[in-house]
Amino acid sequence: MIMSLEDTLYPLLRLYEAAPQPVKTLAGRAYRAIPSSIRQGSAYERSRREAAESESWDGETTTRYQIAAIRDSLIAAQRAPYYAKRFAEAGVKAESFESLEQLAAYPMLTKEDIIRHRNEMVSGEASQRLAMTTGGSSGVPVSFFLHKGVSRAKEQAYLEATWARVGYQLGDRVAVIRGGVTSSRSDGRISSFDATRNWLALSSYHLTPERLLEYVAELNRFRPQHLHAYPSAALMLMQMGVKLDFKLTSVLCGSEKLSTEAEKQLEGHFGAPVMHWYGHSERAVLAAQRPGSSALHFWPAYGFVEFGEADAAGNREIIATSFHNHVMPLIRYRTGDLWSSESQVIGRDYEFIISRTGRRISLTAMNMHDDIFDGLLAVQFHQHELGVLECHLLPTPRWSRDREEAIKIGLLRRLGDDFDLTLHVVDQIEKTSAGKHRWLVTTLKP
């Protein structure tokens, strides 16, 4: 397998992002000139072919592929101490997996299992592991390992195949409004150019009526073919009446829920089709719309999905088994996300924290994809006054209080200087009436 140059260079990403724009532009253009087979590796090329072919698979072909992929994941998992013990207790053997129905005999996996047993769940060489952390949609930080050279390349290939359904082509200009930090100060730059992908990153942290003309000017100057934004950011642009002097090919909306009504409003306002999809940082399953339908459909070769028991509203938990990540497979992973009878993901309402100057910051943008939340069972924000934010931290036994300063610095870098932030280590986190973690507790109206 040809290793992904992108994953090899991933540890240097922060250094690249901190470089002056002329340096980033020069380095990025040189990097983009390298053939994708080298930049992304052979897993990317394989996944591109797989995604294209799977569009026309029949049921028998899909089942045959999924049985083989699940068996490979189970065999890889069985090499890890945690899974070896759990499988033995359940009386199952990975080598004997021959039908999708047999998966029900395997134990389920929770976020807390990963938090407590991550290092017992890995197999293979340490050099194959790429450490990742997600805050998730509920404020439960989960640290895990992706398969270096495979997991991220595969996701990129499948996302490109998803976006191609609404006209995306590799190399197209894309404007991104998804929480990128473009400045350490609240009155700083709103944009930066990523020459490695020909993308213009626009801050979702400073999208206010006062600065709207700057966003419009940047978009009209760059003239992207696609707007890649959190649904909440795209809706804010629409609600503020943004009019562009060029035509978009598509609006790409992921990471947050998007109702059918809101999707139609965005399409009407921007005059372009909207593509909505569901994925997660753990990269176990991926679902996306198909042309002419607002329903989401899971990519059959990306991962395997099961659904839990229906609740009173008919919604069922998404349970995912990952394919191709053989350093830390996720077997029957309870994602905590709910699937509706309309084939949509039931997400949280758009939640915002608000600065002293009135900036609204989507909680989605506060999801930290580095290791600063390691050692925590949960994180929760509390806000009852503009620009004043409390962050409650629920630790595991391996938590160290000297991590607090790093957390504060990381959060303030995203928040900006019109927030006062305090951290509190607590022994419990406020939950919903259904017993779920809450990401934000606020009395402010967005």
Q: What is the mean pLDDT of the chain?
A: 89
Judge whether residue 199 has pLDDT over 80: yes
The continuous run of DSSP H or E covering 199 comes out as: strand 199-202
Question: What is the per-residue pLDDT across 136-154, written as a single tens digit (0 to 9) for each?
Answer: 555 677 889 999 999 999 9
Average the pLDDT over 200-215 and give the result. Answer: 90
CA–CA distance, 69 with 28 (Å, rounded to integer) = 35
Q: How big is the chain, counted in residues?
A: 446
CA–CA distance, 296 with 290 (Å, rounded to integer) = 7
- Topology of domain 152-300 in CATH is Rossmann fold (3.40.50)
Which residues, other chains included, contact 237 with Cβ-Cβ below 8 Å and sequence gap of 6+? Answer: 177, 207, 215, 229
pLDDT at 184: 42
pLDDT at 137: 56
Which residues, other chains included, contact 436 with Cβ-Cβ below 8 Å and sequence gap of 6+? Answer: 138, 336
Where do the structural domains in the chain lie, given as residue ranges? 152-300, 352-442
pLDDT at 446: 66
Judge whether residue 187 has pLDDT over 50: no
Average the pLDDT over 168-173 and give the result. Answer: 94
Q: Which carries the bigger pLDDT value, residue 36 or residue 190?
A: 190
Judge whether residue 186 has pLDDT over 50: no
pLDDT at 435: 61
- Topology of domain 352-442 in CATH is GMP Synthetase; Chain A, domain 3 (3.30.300)
Q: Which carries the bigger pLDDT value, residue 415 or residue 246?
A: 246
Closest CA to 379 of 434, 423, 333: 423
Judge whether residue 181 has pLDDT over 60: no
pLDDT at 244: 96
pLDDT at 432: 67
Judge whether residue 163 has pLDDT over 60: yes
Judge whether residue 171 has pLDDT over 50: yes
pLDDT at 237: 95
Instruction: Kindly state the tokens that stand for 247.
Output: 């035509």
Judge whether residue 323 has pLDDT over 70: yes
Closest CA to 323 of 38, 54, 93: 54
Judge whether residue 36 has pLDDT over 80: no
Residue 95: φ, ψ to 5°: -65, -20
pLDDT at 375: 77
Q: Which carries the bigger pLDDT value, residue 4 or residue 306?
A: 306
Closest CA to 151 of 367, 327, 331, 318: 327
Could you give the count of Cα atoms lying within 13 Å of 176 in the half-sphere of its Cβ?
20
Listed range (32-46, 247-261, 283-297, 416-430) with the worst mean pLDDT: 32-46
Listed range (11-15, 126-130, 315-319, 404-408) with the worst mean pLDDT: 11-15
- pLDDT-derived band at 437 (thresholds 50, 70, 90) equals confident
pLDDT at 8: 80
In a 3-state reduction of DSSP, which class is residue 440? strand
Pairing of β 191-194 and β 199-202: antiparallel
